[in-house]
Chain A
Amino acid sequence: MDNTVVSTGTEGKTWGGGSQPLKSSYGKMMMWFFIVSDALTFSGFLAAYGFSRFKFIDAWPIADEVFTHIPFYHEPAPMIYVAFMTFVLIMSSVTMVLAVDAGHEMKKAKVTFYMFLTIIGGLIFVGSQAWEWATFIKGDYGAIQTKGGNILQFGEYVEKDGEQLFKRVAIKDFAIEAAHDVREQHQRKNGIWFMNEGSLPSYTVDEVMHGLEANTNVLVRTQLINEDGEKTVLTREESLRQIKENGKSVVEGANLHVNEYGTPLFADFFFFITGFHGFHVFSGVVINIIIFFNVILGTYERRKNYEMVEKVGLYWHFVDLVWVFVFTFFYLV
């Protein structure tokens, strides 16, 4: 650098950039400012989520009823899996900060080991998130969407320890299939070559209606939340009437257009915010891998400082920080 920059005679003085009021290197400071702007981006998303939720405050899906799955375990168990994911991410944050600490002490082997653990933690987290998405997209009970776009779900009262509990019933458990399929999926090869449509639901509204008429114990549950913080369950007559008069389509699982758990906005925000966060985790893992190889190759050993590890560390902790908020606003509140 000295050869290319004209000497001004002010080097080392305040005017020549000699004073460092923040006592922080250029790279680290820029990482901090990037984090501030990224934090504002995420806040924008979460605030938009809050906006939609407050707008439909009396009909928002209850997260505890949506995210209840654990791999290889078939009873509904809310919170457990996401708590595991949170712990994995916090743990990988810890190994990252241990790597930074080992870097300060110039211990190459230790930095390598902790960076490796951090990458593994990140991969477990991204994998868990992919699984969470897959279960959410697949859905579990199915529902009927009304003309007005509301979701009607099904369930029955069962007695448990002397208490009447409302237990959800899946559409496939009571719908009566018609003798022949009413409608076939429109495919390119059968129709106009440039038109096709997505997969059709397994049942039609009529089939669900017949099933509902045959099973007198099944009731409809609406999106509206009552004073007890639970979704409103309709009477038998009202259930039949709602499906007959307002039922428009059968919804199974969730995507960007429909969502069997409630308003489609919930699914949209879930995909967008956890997706954006998951993308951050993924890019964090990629950057961590690059730094990991640099550590192994001894780049920072020759440079005589491990500040690069510290900088990716800042990014990695930030990803953890964002997850703490996503966890609260999507799963807890």
Chain B
Amino acid sequence: MADHAHKLEILRGLIKFKSNTQKIWGVLILLSIITAVEVLLGIYKPEWGRTVFLGMKALNWIFIVLTIVKAYYITWDFMHMRDETKALRRMVVWTAIFLICYLLWILLQEAGYIFEIYDKGYIKRDF
């Protein structure tokens, strides 16, 4: 980056920082809060978290969403993705997201199928 201009607002402009250094500390606080929430939920494992939602426990969904939120802030503010051009951003982020989603979908789908075979004995195919 030739010019050292940083975009200094996070959470869609909800919080604006005066300098880049201040933004870094702000993001650290945000990440620490998210991690603390994760750790507390992980230790106490509240009862409502066991409700199954879309094939997985609600608590696990919360963990995954919080992880993606953390990943977003690490990439956008620590790695300065916020300041890169839209083209570079999409090249890096969408490529990875698309391939990872595909890989996860196909592997987890297959794993579920194998579990069913182990669990139920067999799956009938020759009918």
Interface size on B, residues (CB 8 A): 52
A53 lies within 8 A of B1 (CB): no
B contact residues around A93 at 8 Å (CB): 74, 78
A50 lies within 8 A of B107 (CB): yes
B4 lies within 8 A of A22 (CB): no
A83 lies within 8 A of B35 (CB): yes
A50 lies within 8 A of B35 (CB): no
**1/0 contact string of B67-90 vs chain A (CB within 8 Å):** 100110011011110001101100
B contact residues around A328 at 8 Å (CB): 38, 63-64, 66-67
CB within 8 A of B67: which of A98, A229, A324?
A324
B32 lies within 8 A of A87 (CB): yes
Give A228's nearest chain B residue, CB to CB.
B50
**Which segment of A32-40, A161-169, A171-179, A274-282 sits at the interface?**
A32-40
Chain A 37-96 interface residues, beta-carbon cutoff 8 Å to B: 39-40, 43-44, 47-48, 50-58, 64, 78-80, 83, 86-87, 90-91, 93-94, 96
A256 within 8 A of B: no
Chain A 11-42 interface residues, beta-carbon cutoff 8 Å to B: 21-24, 29, 32-33, 35-36, 39-40
13 contacts between A and B (CB under 8 A): A23-B85, A23-B88, A24-B88, A43-B99, A43-B103, A50-B108, A64-B42, A313-B78, A321-B71, A324-B67, A325-B67, A327-B67, A328-B63
Given A22-B88, A40-B100, A43-B100, A79 and B42 touching (CB < 8 A)? Answer: yes
Question: Looking at chain A, what size class is its interface with the partner chain?
Answer: 35 or more
A-B contacts, CB under 8 A, total? 135
Chain B 22-55 interface residues, beta-carbon cutoff 8 Å to A: 24-25, 28, 31-32, 35-36, 38-39, 41-43, 50
A contact residues around B14 at 8 Å (CB): none
CB within 8 A of A51: which of B66, B110, B118?
B110
B20 lies within 8 A of A39 (CB): no
In the bound complex, what is the Cα–Cα distance between A47 and B25 (angstroms)? 33
A314 within 8 A of B: yes
In the bound complex, what is the Cα–Cα distance between A56 and B64 (angstroms)? 20
B123 within 8 A of A: no
Describe A's contact surface by its main secondary structure.
helix
12 new A-B contacts, CB < 8 A, other than A23-B2, A35-B92, are A32-B92, A39-B96, A47-B107, A51-B107, A54-B108, A79-B43, A87-B35, A101-B21, A101-B24, A313-B78, A317-B74, A328-B67
A248 within 8 A of B: no
A50 lies within 8 A of B21 (CB): no
Interface residues of B (CB under 8 A from A): 1-2, 4, 20-21, 24-25, 28, 31-32, 35-36, 38-39, 41-43, 50, 60, 63-64, 66-67, 70-71, 74-75, 77-80, 84-85, 87-88, 91-92, 95-96, 99-100, 103-104, 107-108, 110-112, 114-115, 118-119
B115 lies within 8 A of A54 (CB): yes
A318 within 8 A of B: yes
B4 lies within 8 A of A78 (CB): no
B74 lies within 8 A of A78 (CB): no
Least Cβ–Cβ distance between A317 and chain B, in angstroms: 5
A212 within 8 A of B: no
B contact residues around A219 at 8 Å (CB): none
B contact residues around A98 at 8 Å (CB): 21, 24
A271 within 8 A of B: no
B contact residues around A1 at 8 Å (CB): none
Least Cβ–Cβ distance between B34 and chain A, in angstroms: 10
B88 lies within 8 A of A97 (CB): no
In the bound complex, what is the Cα–Cα distance between A94 and B30 (angstroms)? 12
